[in-house]
Structure 1
Amino acid sequence: MTTTMRVLSLTTTDWRSFYQSQMTALERVDVEVTTLPVPSEHRALEDDVRRRTPLDYARYLPHVLREARGDYDLVHANYGLTAPFAVAASALPRAELPVVCTLWGGEYRDNPFAPLIERFAARADRIVVPSNAMADRVDRSCRVVPFPVDTEQFHPISRAEAREHVGWTTDERIVLFPYAPSREEKNYPLANRVVDGLEGDVSLRTVANQPYEDVPYYLNAADAVLITSRFESGPMTIKEAAACNTPVVSRDVGFAREVLADVENSYVADDDAALRDRLADVLETAEPSDGRARITGYGTDEMGARLRAVYERCLENATSS
């Protein structure tokens, strides 16, 4: 019989779809998680970015230390900015909690706190990353545990039904940029240039901060999803769109090439012209992809088993040391 583990999870964004999927994955393998998010929020709006302040993180520390005195087996820092707090929790008298740290990918990109993150992440017992591309950027051994896609949530829906649900006109070709334009790393100007260069009537739509349950409808409502990010550790949208059989055209970032390698009617390209040509091909064929059949291995069950194995190894080492 599997023993239930109790994990204190620290995170900056507990509302993101991939974090919610992680919670589902852990629940299925008898891991009981208590999530403690950083106060306030960091969220990209359509034309601005709402940011946390240093005071929000200062307020976070006593919450973490107080909660860490509970009955937990280990503490899991989700995103590098929570690593210092996880390490502080592990050092409490009589706590001695092992620390697992998941690096999401944006920690070391134009981040003034990167040196602090690196110093505290180095003190974690185990490092987890979501992709091989991210593993190549981490200067220590780490375990690749891909973010899962919930194929029950993300599944094909008829385009007419999806467009009716989100309120989009049903007779135009729509390319979806699935982020707020204000997120500089997502490179909206490139997406706009690519779509502007297409022949015929094509609309570029953006979607950000929609309810999680509506995201599959937006993905299914689009003729194609366009990813123009400057850098990524993912992005999860590629897996989610693939699960919906929605074609994806993406720059060669994160795990885009790995996920889309064998997917029909989806492409990876890098320069403006190649992105435009590939997107034109997708729109001309007007066919779905076969991504859903190609994303085996990215489910919640697989992630749960892999993360639990990381936890168990941590606890074994803690017991033997």
Structure 2
Amino acid sequence: MKILFVSSGNRKQGLNPIIRLQAESLEKVGVEIEHFLIFGSGFLGYLKNVFKLRTLLKTHPVHLIHAHFGFSCVVAQLAKGKIPLVVTLMGTDILGHKNEDGSISLRNKLVLWINHYFANHVYEKAIVMNQIMKDILSKRKNPTYILSNGVDTSLFYEVPKSEALQFLDWDPDVHHFVFISNPARPEKNFPLAEEAVKLLQERGYRVQLHAVFQEKSENLKYYYSAATALVLTSFHEGSPNVVKEAFCCNCPIVSTPVGDVSITTAGIEGCFIGPYDSVGFSAQLEKAIAFSTASGRIKGRQRIDEMGFDSQIVANRIKRIYEESIGEK
């Protein structure tokens, strides 16, 4: 079974690590994966890739195309011909790209309308991250699967805190919070994390916030293992991988009620959901400090097993979707 992954190539560090890890997990279950990367900005920039992809498919046959995220899915749809297509919609492409004040610009409303139109009326099979996204696509008549991205449990695991602190050269007498995302992206809402940590510092807590961006995947386990908690303050997410990575490392979590985080963390002692204001969010950070002091780590690895988040389990589910799609054709 030969599958062509279609996704953006605009990232400076190359292929999106989530997509790369998914491809690797599929290869482990016997699926041959090749990649077509899209270069360009805006809808028109993406459309220029339709002809390139169509030309490639004429000379390079595949059994199915799997497109990831927003306009990459539109390009694949316009270029695919009779080849089966599965799309993965990952969050902002359906939920919207918000500004720092939580609003959506006119330009991004147009982007959202295009993505909603194709998702509701055109795509054959769609994978979404959570029930909220599926509900938004209520006009779909074709199959929609809720299947969040898996996590490589052999890559993410807890290491002794002393070892992690030494690797990162962090002060062991400070409570460290990690923000695993690009702080410049407005929808990630980094200012809330900054303001909440600052309030704790003003109250005498020895705390430090670390924005971790473009770090190698193999090093992230040290950040999760050294941290008092992962901090997630986004306006919108699908099913954030950072939460599953934190689970693997048994790292406490403090998050806004975004995406499926309230569901995936429900009942786990050491995971806290905070509001979108700095005072309320800092109170949840304070709870995380108390938990870390008393108990240290959460039972996150257990939740990975309970919810089937292991990347190989997810890969087998995706493989079955491929087989259904190819069989129908």
Q: Which of 42, 61, 65 pairs up with 1:71?
A: 61
Query: Aligned pair in 2 of structure 1 residues 304, 86: CA closer, same or farther (>3 Å)?
Result: same
Alignment of 1:48-87 (within 5 A): 52=41, 56-69=45-58, 70-87=60-77
Shift of 1:240: 0.5
- Equivalent pairs counted in the alignment come to 299
Identity %: 27
TM score, norm. by length of structure 1: 0.87
Please provide the CA RMSD for this pair: 1.9
Correspondence 1:134 to 2:130? no
Match of 1:90 in 2: 80
Q: Which amino acid aligns with 2:117?
A: R
Match of 2:111 in 1: 113
Q: Distance in 2 between matches of 1:53 and 1:129?
A: 22
Whether the 8 Å contact between 1:225 and 1:246 is mirrored in structure 2 is: yes
Q: Distance in 2 between matches of 1:25 and 1:130?
A: 18
Q: Distance in 1 between matches of 2:123 and 2:276?
A: 38
Question: In structure 1, the residue corresponding to 2:4 is in which secondary structure?
Answer: strand
Query: Aligned pair in 2 of structure 1 residues 159, 15: CA closer, same or farther (>3 Å)?
Result: farther
Q: Describe the superposition over 1:139-192 as per-residue Cα deviations: whole angstroms up to 9, x where unpaired.
A: 325101121011111100122222222332332111112122211101111111
Q: Distance in 1 between matches of 2:234 and 2:114?
A: 25
Q: Distance in 1 between matches of 2:291 and 2:87?
A: 43
* Of 139-148 and 266-275, the range deviating more from structure 2: 266-275
Shift of 1:124: 1.7
Q: Describe the superposition over 1:55-106 as per-residue Cα deviations: whole angstroms up to 9, x where unpaired.
A: 7525423331122221211111111211222112222xxxx10111111111
Match of 1:166 in 2: 168
Question: In structure 1, the residue corresponding to 2:270 is in which secondary structure?
Answer: coil
TM score, norm. by length of structure 2: 0.85
Unpaired runs of at least 5, structure 2: 97-103
Question: In structure 1, the residue corresponding to 2:251 is in which secondary structure?
Answer: coil
Q: Which amino acid aligns with 2:5?
A: S
Q: Distance in 1 between matches of 2:32 and 2:88?
A: 18
Q: Distance in 1 between matches of 2:225 and 2:17?
A: 17
Q: Distance in 2 between matches of 1:90 and 1:15?
A: 21
Q: Distance in 1 between matches of 2:289 and 2:164?
A: 18
Query: Aligned pair in 2 of structure 1 residues 39, 177: CA closer, same or farther (>3 Å)?
Result: same
Q: Which of 301, 307, 313 pairs up with 2:318?
A: 307
Unpaired runs of at least 5, structure 1: 41-51
Match of 2:89 in 1: 103
Q: Distance in 2 between matches of 1:317 and 1:54?
A: 31
Whether the 8 Å contact between 2:51 and 2:79 is mirrored in structure 1 is: no
Displaced runs of 4 or more, over 6 A: none
Match of 1:44 in 2: none
Shift of 1:22: 1.2
Match of 1:228 in 2: 233
Q: Distance in 1 between matches of 2:276 and 2:89?
A: 28
Question: In structure 1, the residue corresponding to 2:225 is in which secondary structure?
Answer: helix
Whether the 8 Å contact between 2:46 and 2:72 is mirrored in structure 1 is: no
